[in-house]
Amino acid sequence: MAKFIFVTGGVVSGIGKGISAASIGRLLKDRNLKIFMQKFDPYLNIDPGTMSPFQHGEVFVTYDGAETDLDLGHYERFTDEELTKRASITTGKIYSRVIAKERRGDYNGATVQVIPHITDEIKNSVYKAAEESGADVVITEIGGTVGDIESLPFLEAIRQIHSENKPGDVLFVHTVLVPNIPGTSELKTKPTQHSYKELMSNGIKADVIIIRSNGEVSQAVKEKISLFCDVPMEAIVQSSNVDLIYEVPLVFHKQGLDEFILKYLGLEDQEKSDGHWSKMVERFKKAKEEINIALVGKYTELHDAYLSVTQALLDAGYENGADVKIKWIDSECVENNPKIFKGIDGIIVPGGFGQRGTEGMIKTSKYARENNIPYFGICYGMQIALIDIARNKLGLKGASSTEINPDTPYPIIDLLENQRTVKNLGGTLRLGNYPCSLEENTLVRKLYGQEKAYERHRHRYEFNNDFRGAIRKAGIIFSGINEDLDLVEIIEIKDHPFFVACQFHPEFKSRPTKVHPLFDGFIKATKNSKNK
């Protein structure tokens, strides 16, 4: 039978609850336990797929095609475990399932209520995840903070899970902020005490408290929290500010958090791993050579919109002994002159949707291509590169995507037939893993070192195969093809330091312990280009 860990937040949001949950997952995996991680989000959207990046940040995609919260990216990077649709649950999903059951008559005429019907559906999401994953421990993060109205059904559901299982099978972790009064260094525990009482009012008693604060939390402060919140001293852990987020599991381990959790859950006999995570952190922290990467996008004022991209860039840099400095460039600000890219060693154009800022991206591709600057295009970045090539190498004036200009005379990028009749926006993109055959004697084949790859997608528009011959004559190599659907997945330019673009999202599969080949190749090429 699986054990369950639930991670809740108190006082304020944004204090690293997701990183704390991911770090616990890393620690337990280092004890050779099989884990599965979940995120419960209290908003009414079915998923974040239709939400603005300015509101929600990045949409992370699982291999089986779920559009999810960005915290799942942290989970996968920290644990190197591929998650599924079971890992992302929203209030919208729960209510839609319950309403569908009511419409079918599954409840035999009963009055459908939050308790037990909504809470039962939430509990089923936890139990089914445990059953399907075969995990020793399921770690579930509850979005929002204790006291939010929309979180109440989730809190009630996990309270019921606690009562339905044996003592020692369920552990509650509560993350809180211990602030200091402005102008002083005195840390105040009162917000933590109130948050603890709020959680208790929902029938849940915290077993572990994780503290965030600006300063070092003293023994006296921990003793005060222990006294007022009835949590043993060894279960009060500080999440310190670190230079590298991958240090957080090591910070927790140093304070004995994994030992406490294993003992509480009756799993104390688990062996420790070989310490490869700490070795990776040590190696990453030694990276010194600075390289400057321009990230040209539409949402650059909100860095969370490109969280997996930036993390993959940083990780690839660390792995290659480089400290990547990202210059955030709004694509609307790109002018037709090289000054905006002064001092830039490489350029990346990540995913996006809609017309705004696309002309600046096209100029970016042209600049990188003509000036031998390493260029890496992801999803929209590949489509933009193909439009640039059509316009500026083939002379196809007005070439574009029908997403950008429905009346373009040269629809280089267009909808597939099965997308033309789609009415609902949510969940109808090409999502999740698709195969990609890698052409022999190409840079991409060399980087991957294999004949076929499976990569995660999130897009609706595709390269128009009617232009394949013309684009090939312009010197473009189609180095990755989905043979099942006859779709172009990767392009490259041969006589260029690095000009590679892909239709999928490699950032979703990049890990600090296993950097994605395309990010690795891009950083290597950028370093070489800079040194030359």
Does the pLDDT at position 420 exceed 80?
no
DSSP track, 35-59:
EEEEEEE-SSSSSGGGS-HHHH---
The pTM of this model reads 0.94
Q: Which residues are identified as catalytic?
A: 379, 505, 507
**Stretch 156-184: mean pLDDT:** 94
Residues 356 and 298: their CA atoms lie apart, in Å, by 7
The CATH H-level (homologous superfamily) assignment of domain 3-175+237-280 is P-loop containing nucleotide triphosphate hydrolases (3.40.50.300)
Does the pLDDT at position 478 exceed 90?
yes
Residues 352 and 87: their CA atoms lie apart, in Å, by 24
Q: What is the 3-state secondary structure (H, E, C) of 241-310?
A: CCCCHHHHHHHHHHCCHHHHHHHHCCCCCCCCCCCHHHHHHHHHHCCCEEEEEEEEECCCCCHHHHHHHH
Residue 511's Cβ-count burial label (10 Å; 0-12, 13-18, 19+) is middle
Is the torsion defined by CA of 317, 275, 21, 46 positive or negative?
positive
Let me know: does 515 contact 509? Beta carbons within 8 Å.
no
Residue-wise pLDDT for 373-398, tens only, equals: 999 999 999 999 999 999 999 999 99
Residue-wise pLDDT for 67-81, tens only, equals: 999 999 999 999 999
User: Under CATH, which architecture does the 288-531 domain have?
Assistant: 3-Layer(aba) Sandwich (3.40)
Cα 68 from chain centre: 8
Does the pLDDT at position 338 exceed 70?
no
**Stretch 241-270: mean pLDDT:** 92
Range list for CATH 3.40.50.880 in the chain: 288-531
**Stretch 17-28: mean pLDDT:** 96
pLDDT of residue 7: 98
Range list for CATH 3.40.50.300 in the chain: 3-175+237-280
